[in-house]
Copies of this chain bind each other. A is one copy, B any other.
Amino acid sequence: MLKDWVKSSKPDDEEMTRRLQKVRTELTDRQLAIKENKLPVLVIFDGWGAAGKGSVLGRVIKNLDPRFYKTETLSKPSEDELRRPFLYRYFVRIPEAGKFSFFDGSWMDEITRNRLTEQTTEEEYHAQLTSIKRFERQLSDNGYLVVKFFFHITQAEQKKRLRELADEKSTSWRVGKWDRWQNKHYDRCVDVYDAYLEATNQFIAPWYFIDAKNRKWAELQVMELLVKNIDIALQNTGRAAAILQNTFPLKRMPRIREIDLHKSISDAQYEKQLEKLQHQLAELHNRIYQAKIPVIIAYEGWDAAGKGGNIKRLTAALDPRGFEVHPIASPEPREKNRHYLWRFWNRLPKDGHIAIFDRTWYGRVMVERLEGFCSENDWQRAYNEINEFEKELHDWGAVVIKFWVQIDKDTQLARFTDRQNTPEKQWKITDEDWRNREKWDQYEVAVDEMIQKTSTVFAPWHILESNDKHYARIKALKIVIEELEKRLG
């Protein structure tokens, strides 16, 4: 599409000035509408080196209140970012509801550069395209406006600009190796960019080419397209998105009500095995660390099912420098104002590290579903979105282990009562726990649907029968050990 794109004709200077004045006022107005409608707006500036992205970006934000936007310069990933999933550095930078994020450079840059320099194979490249398409679609489905600009200049124009920048002392630092490489291999870049632009030209986030030869004209194009897209998005706030069918391979899972909870272990056996398994795990943790394998362990289960104690037996075996436990409570405002997976992307471990989640992203399809904290469309979409999220983790190389800690209703009652009657345990029981208990049957429906729809072969659920907490702890340890050994080969 870049190849046969013909620019539309540039208006004369007088018309440009008039239209710029108008559109600047419009953009200033729109920032309030965006705030009121809680619309998050992600604006991406991609394009050729020296095409003037930064300078136009600078002009655009002049019309905005600094409290309403952030700018991000995305050049090469940092050391720390390279130890996270490919999408991490982009996901953690998405805007808050009601605000703008402007990206100077984006994932396009990283993906196409790696392709051009053959640091990724054709296959890896296509996997990244798939990730990107899912990412952009998820943003759109979750109410984000994504506007993507590609700043275009000819090879000759780029050459001229690079020469001018290099000749001037104050700007010569701005000409990088990559810009020169790009200019030298302009035609090959066109091929790769064209294919990328075509592949990612999704209707939920289409590309807009900016004729960037003239700075003022580039600014006008960007501003007018931005306002137009904002107006459309404002008309569509609250729209429902299609529920995509799961196309990831799933494992068959039992209904939780059918799970045999009589399984137990003797105290003597428990002590013996616990020690042995913890020892094993400690050793594996070392190997995982050295092999730079990231591990994500997710705990969900009924209140008082014994998640806390279970996690404790795991972490007791781990080197404290190599793991982190994330207790997940209600989202904070800055979390609530973003894609619901944002707070989990932010908590992903570095490679070689273990992250343990005490409650997880599955809140979306349990408490948020049942309490009406999100719309029906939101939680129905979430099964697929979560599978996509975990696929991303899996493709990154992570071991993903998900535990559902199961008890029956009577056991819960006994434990609640015990907590109530034991002064040092009273902090563990709240009115909310009792309220949730009243919704046991509804939760059961939601949990079953969750387990059925998200037990992918790359991140299946494991059921921990936890009427006997000891049994559940030993089982959890065994599963973690098994999965880590499998991964280490």
Interface residues of A (CB under 8 A from B): 1, 4-6, 8-9, 137, 140-141, 202-204, 206-209, 225, 228-229, 231-232, 235-236, 239-250, 252, 377, 380, 452-453, 457
Indicate which residue in B141, B232, B246 contacts A241 across the interface (CB closer than 8 Å). Answer: B232
Indicate which residue in B5, B225, B243, B246 contacts A228 across the interface (CB closer than 8 Å). Answer: B243
Nearest CB in chain B: distance from A135 CB, A: 13
Nearest CB in chain B: distance from A293 CB, A: 24
Identify the closest chain B residue to A136 (Cβ): B203
Instruction: List 7 other contacts, CB 8 Å, given A8-B453, A229-B243.
Output: A4-B249, A6-B457, A203-B242, A209-B245, A225-B245, A232-B240, A236-B236
B residues near A209, Cβ cutoff 8 Å = 245, 247
CB-defined A-B contacts under 8 Å, sample of 16: A6-B250, A8-B246, A8-B452, A8-B453, A140-B203, A202-B203, A203-B241, A207-B245, A209-B247, A225-B245, A232-B241, A232-B243, A235-B240, A235-B377, A236-B239, A239-B239
Indicate which residue in B203, B229, B232 contacts A203 across the interface (CB closer than 8 Å). Answer: B203
Would you call A137 and B239 a contact (CB within 8 A)? no
B residues near A246, Cβ cutoff 8 Å = 8
Copies in the complex: 2
CA–CA, A235 and B380, complex, Å: 15
CA–CA, A202 and B225, complex, Å: 24
Would you call A9 and B245 a contact (CB within 8 A)? no
Known: A137-B203, A203-B203, A203-B204. A5 touches B243 (CB 8 A): no
Known: A9-B452, A202-B203, A203-B204. A242 touches B232 (CB 8 A): yes
CA–CA, A141 and B228, complex, Å: 16
Which of A225, A240, A248 is packed against the most chain B CB atoms within 10 Å? A240
Nearest CB in chain B: distance from A144 CB, A: 13
Would you call B4 and A252 a contact (CB within 8 A)? no
CA–CA, A8 and B245, complex, Å: 11
B residues near A4, Cβ cutoff 8 Å = 247-249
Would you call B206 and A245 a contact (CB within 8 A)? yes
Would you call B9 and A252 a contact (CB within 8 A)? yes
CA–CA, A465 and B231, complex, Å: 38
